[in-house]
Amino acid sequence: MSTAAECFARIDALDGRLHAFLHVDRAARARVAQGPLAGMPVAVKDLIHVEGMPTTAGSKILEGFMPPFSATVVERLQAAGAVIVGKTNLDEFGMGSSTENSAYGASKNPYDLTRTPGGSSGGSAAAVAAGLCDAALGTDTGGSIRLPAAFCNQVGLRPTYGRVPRWGVTAFASSLDQVGPMARTVDVCEQVFQVIAGPDERDATSARVPAPRRVDVGLQGLRIGLPREYFGKGLDPEVEAAVRAAAKFYQAQGAKLVEVSLPTTQHALAIYYLLAPSEASSNLARYDGVRFGYRAPGVKGLREMYDQSRARGFGPEVKRRIMLGTFALSAGYYDAYYAKAQRVRTLVRRDFDEALKAADVLLTPVSPVPAFKLGEVTTPMALYLMDVFTIPSALAGLPGLSVPGGFTAGGLPIGLQLLGRPFAEGELFSVARAYEQAHPWHERRPNL
């Protein structure tokens, strides 16, 4: 484990090139001397409140905002002895797949500084990959932990919906958002998860389930499902080869490979981009220039203050999603769009229920491609498609784990995705650990 002093030295040396952090607390120290994470340097995505540190959500609209309290997950990290070293960069309000939507500039991938670390939790993934911290928290609405983990050779968990409290976390889409850990190894990721998970009376969506525990699942006889819809056209050949190689490894260890079908997957992207923007349009209405954050200067009247504060404070992607969501919720369109999308979401969940009767765990790609160059993917739809393999399970509220699965011929990391039943994070960690022990891809560090 690194010391906080070592991480601050690496931040000073490297973050000028990576731009993983938006705020660094160089005076940070552990609040307790003992605990399961005693002395561990941990970074926090800048959607999550830390008392004494600014929260920007990657947006100008929150400029100058200093939260008066810490999120539940931060309280739990500090109670376990972790040192919160700073706040990491992200796509504005978590809306994006590359950190290029950050109002403060894009982060860089430590494995190739010309490429994205993924998004929206790209700063968290880049920070861990470069050794600027031992672990980091991200949030995952449609893939924002798993995609950056895959692009940066990290382990990243999106927990079951409700498994980790969201109190003190800036909302994007409340029926989808989840906080989760990112780390270099399965064991460290699981260790952080066990600290932050569990019920919270301040969060109405928090699941009342027992605290997570380590589970060891034998591979002999384990049924690993390969969804047929996740392979084929549009999938990079090297990514597909890595996933199929992992399947063969599990088969050689005694697991049984099962082909399953998730037919509603083809509709998941459209469903997500109706539901998530609709919820965002409601959640982001609070940013109006009145109570906190940016207020446009030189305006006349309340209406102009609202309009100009939001027009200047929000970036293009956030405006696009607010407008889309507002339209979908408007009179005459609610039933045709939002309500219908919710009904189809139920079908997505049913597909997963059926698939996870035939299989114990699903194995899929995380992203259709490895990390792409910054500035290379310019259209919104092309960026949305990066989450085509992570959005369906998010709609279903299921846990998903990204684990390093190798490298392309050009040296770019490839991620494997393991999906499981609700609250089966322990099983996912166990299956991932078996692969990691035989394939220590995490030992291949970036050359910085």
Asked if 198 and 159 touch (Cβ cutoff 8 Å), the reply is: no
pLDDT (tens digit, 9 = 90+) per residue, 294-303?
888 888 888 8
Q: What is the mean pLDDT of residues 30-46?
A: 92
Mean of the per-residue pLDDT values for the chain?
96
Q: Which residues are catalytic?
A: 45, 120, 144
pLDDT exceeds 80 at position 62: yes
pLDDT (tens digit, 9 = 90+) per residue, 155-194?
999 999 999 999 999 999 999 999 999 999 999 999 999 9
pLDDT exceeds 80 at position 15: yes
pTM recorded for the entire structure = 0.96
Tokens representing residue 431 in the block: 């299956």
Q: How confident is the model at residue 231 (pLDDT cuts 50, 70, 90)?
A: very high
pLDDT for the residue numbered 256: 98
Q: How confident is the model at residue 232 (pLDDT cuts 50, 70, 90)?
A: confident
pLDDT exceeds 90 at position 291: no
C-alpha–C-alpha distance, residues 152 and 130, integer Å: 9
pLDDT for the residue numbered 33: 75
Give the up-direction half-sphere exposure of residue 235: CA atoms within 13 A in the CB hemisphere. Answer: 22
C-alpha–C-alpha distance, residues 122 and 369, integer Å: 16
Q: How confident is the model at residue 366 (pLDDT cuts 50, 70, 90)?
A: very high
pLDDT for the residue numbered 299: 87
Distances (CA, A) of 202 to 70, 71, 137, 194, 441: 13, 10, 20, 19, 39
Q: Give backbone dihedrals phi and psi of 272, rounded to 5 degrees, phi first.
A: -60, -45
Percent share of the chain, pLDDT over 90: 88
pLDDT for the residue numbered 176: 97
Q: What is the mean pLDDT of residues 258-276?
A: 96
Asked if 139 and 176 touch (Cβ cutoff 8 Å), the reply is: no
C-alpha–C-alpha distance, residues 146 and 403, integer Å: 9
pLDDT for the residue numbered 313: 92
Q: Which CATH number fits domain 1-448: 3.30.930.10, 3.90.1300.10, 3.30.470.10, 3.40.47.10?
A: 3.90.1300.10
Question: DSSP letters along 287-346, please?
Answer: -SSSSSS---SS--SHHHHHHHHHHHHS-HHHHHHHHHHHHHHSTTTTIIIIIHHHHHHH
**Which regions of 79-169 does DSSP assign to beta strands (E)?**
83-88, 135-140, 155-158
- According to DSSP H, which parts of 205-264 are helical? 237-252
